[in-house]
Amino acid sequence: MENKKVLLGMSGGVDSSVSALLLKNNGYEVIGATLKLFSKNENSDTYKDAKSICDFLNIEHHVYDYKEEFKKRVIDNFIDCYSNCKTPNPCIECNRYMKFGVMYEKAKELGCFYIATGHYAKTEYSEKYRRWVLKKSNAGKKDQSYVLWNIQKELLEHIIFPLGNFENKEEIRAIAKDSNLKVANKPDSEDICFIPDGNYKDFLEKNSKLKPKKGNIVNLEGKVLGEHSGLYNYTIGQRKGLGISNPVPLFVLGFDKEKNEVIVGEEDKLYKKEILVTDINLLLIDELNDELEVEVKTRYSSRLAKARISQEGKNIKVKFDEPQRAITPGQSAVFYIDDIVLGGGKIISSF
C-alpha cells in the first residue's frame, strides 16, 4: 500500500497554506512543520498563521527549533561570503540543509515517505533519463527551480511541489480566498528571511567582525578615483553609491581583498564569456564526461543563456555563446536541458 504521508513545510504564507489544502484534497495525510530558524521572527505571525491554517484544515502541526543548524549552515555562510568579496544566495543553502535536509530527516522519523513545500517547481520520473528529475514549474518568472539545484538527488522521488503546475500567484490567492484561508491576501516576503528590514550591511556589522574600513576605489590601471567604506558594501555590477564622478558611467568590476580596493570600469568590462564553477551538484547525470550544450542561469532573476559546459578537475567550466553581464562570485550557475535542471554550482571566477 502506498505511503501517502507527507511532511509539509508551513511558513504561514499563502503558498504553503494552499499546498496543504491541495495535498489534503489529493488524499495525502498531511503533517505541517514550521521551522524556527532565527530569533527575529520568534513572535512573528509565521507560527500563529501556520498553526491557524493547520487547525482550520484539521491537520497535525509541529514546530521544530533549528536555530543552531540555521546559523551554522546559512548565516555563517552568508557572513563568510561577504568577508571574502562574494555575494551569497542564502535561500540555496537553506533549501539544501534545512528545508530538504533536516526536514527530510524529521519526515522519516514521523513515518512520512514525502516532504513538500510551496516552491514553484516540479519533480517527476523521466522515462528518458530513467530517474527522478527536478523541472521548472509553469510559473515563468516566478519559477524557483534555480534555488533548488543544490538538494540531494536521492530526495527527488520523496519531494512534492503542489504548486508546480500553476502559472501565477493570482491563481494561488484565488484558491486561498475561495477556500476561506485567512492568509489569502498576506503579502509575500521579498527580503532575506533573517534580515526582514533588508539592511544586510547593518546585519553584517552587528553579527560579524565586518566593520566599515575605508580603502581606495581604483580603475583597471590602478588609478585612485575615490574612497569606499568597506568591501562588503559593494557588489559586482553596482553603479550607484560609488561617490565618484567620471565622464562615462563606472561600475564595480571586482575587488582586491589584499589591497582593500574596489575595482571599477566601464560597462563593457562587465561582460564575460567564461566562468568557473565549484561545489558541483549534478541531478540529471552522475558525472560530466563530455562537453555538453546547456542553458545557464547565473542569478535568480537572469535570463537563460546558451552555453557549453565541461569538467575541469573538480570544477566545471562554462563557455557562453554570448558574453554575460555582471557575473558574480558566490552566486550560483544552474544548468538546464530543456525544462530539466541538470545541476549547478557556485561561481568562483569569470574571464
Active site residues: 94, 193
- How far is Cα 89 from Cα 193, in angstroms, rounded to an integer? 12
- Helix residue spans in 156-231 (DSSP H): 169-178, 200-207
37 touches 93 (CB < 8 A): no
Terminal Cα distance for the chain, rounded: 54
Name the 3-class secondary structure at 174: helix
| Exposure letters 177-216 (e unless 16+ CB within 10 A, then b) | eeeebebbebeeeeebbbbeeeebeebbbeebebeeeebb
145 touches 134 (CB < 8 A): yes
Rg of the chain over Cα atoms, rounded to whole angstroms, equals 22
65 touches 36 (CB < 8 A): yes
- Helix residue spans in 57-193 (DSSP H): 67-70, 76-83, 90-94, 103-109, 169-178
| 62: amino acid identity, one letter | H
Give the cell for residue 12.
Answer: 504561514
